[in-house]
């Protein structure tokens, strides 16, 4: 059985595209929908380029607690967060138990929670002088970054690495591991 995936993204969408490309060669999953809260997100261009339907959330729409009806009506089986910057509400959590995953660009529980997204994470890692960073792929629960960890991967950092270089090292891990980790959860 092929699972229909919905990817939620708020920005550039490079992880979304890596997932789209991966599942073009796999019967395990099919990216059926891209959801964003940002009408200017580059992920929309990526969806259009791959002829994948996209949905732009209105301000406050997610918080109304009815978007799960849209996902169910579109026969979505699995939800992937990839740089999505809003909290997934209870109606979606209840509709998709153990079927919503997220990727965080750090080694949770470090550098997680409200405000910890994008470059904020890498700047904090740099400021702390850490010698390694990495990714955490986890199930999504009601709080930011507190769901059950599925996998973590580490990357070493040089003292000369700035926040952008850390971001690039982490993003490369994301593109390598997120698609195949999702696939392992579908089979």
Binding residues vs ligand LMY7XDAE (CB under 6 A): 81, 84-88, 102, 104, 114-117, 140, 142, 144-145, 147
- Using CB under 6 A as the binding rule, the residues of this chain from 66 to 85 that contact ligand GAR are 82-83
- CA-to-CA distance for 62 and 182, rounded, in angstroms? 24
> Among 3, 15, 68, 133, which residue sits at the site for ligand GAR (rule: CB under 6 A)?
15
> Which CB atom, from 49 or from 148, has the smaller least distance to ligand LMY7XDAE?
148
Query: E strands along 128-182, which residues?
Result: 132-139, 149-156
Determine the length of the chain.
Answer: 187
- Using CB under 6 A as the binding rule, the residues of this chain from 125 to 144 that contact ligand GAR are none
> Which CB atom, from 17 or from 77, has the smaller least distance to ligand GAR?
17
Query: E strands along 40-167, which residues?
Result: 54-56, 78-81, 100-104, 132-139, 149-156
Query: Exposed, middle or buried: residue 183 (CB in 10 Å: 0-12, 13-18, 19+)?
Result: middle
Interaction between residue 121 and ligand GAR (CB under 6 A): yes
Chain mean position to CA 166: 18
Contacting residues toward ligand GAR, per CB under 6 A? 9, 11-16, 82-83, 103-105, 116-118, 121, 171, 174
């Amino acid at each position: 059985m092929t699972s229909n995936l919905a990817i939620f993204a708020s920005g550039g969408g490079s992880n979304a595209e890596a997932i789209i490309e991966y599942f073009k060669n796999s019967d395990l999953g099919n990216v059926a929908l891209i959801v964003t809260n940002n009408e200017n997100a580059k992920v929309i261009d990526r969806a259009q380029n791959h002829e994948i339907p996209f949905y732009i959330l209105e301000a406050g729409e997610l918080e109304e607690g009815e978007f799960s009806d849209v996902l169910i009506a579109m026969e979505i089986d699995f939800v992937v967060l990839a740089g999505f910057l809003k909290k997934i509400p209870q109606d979606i959590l209840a509709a998709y138990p153990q079927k919503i995953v997220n990727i965080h660009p750090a080694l949770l529980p470090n550098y997680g929670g409200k405000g910890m997204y994008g470059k904020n994470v890498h700047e904090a890692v740099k400021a702390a002088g850490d010698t390694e960073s990495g990714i955490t792929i986890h199930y999504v629960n009601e709080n930011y970054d507190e769901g059950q960890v599925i996998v973590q991967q580490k990357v070493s950092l040089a003292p000369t690495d700035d926040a952008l270089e850390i971001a690039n090292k982490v993003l490369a891990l994301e593109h390598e591991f997120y698609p195949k980790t999702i696939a392992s959860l579908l089979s």
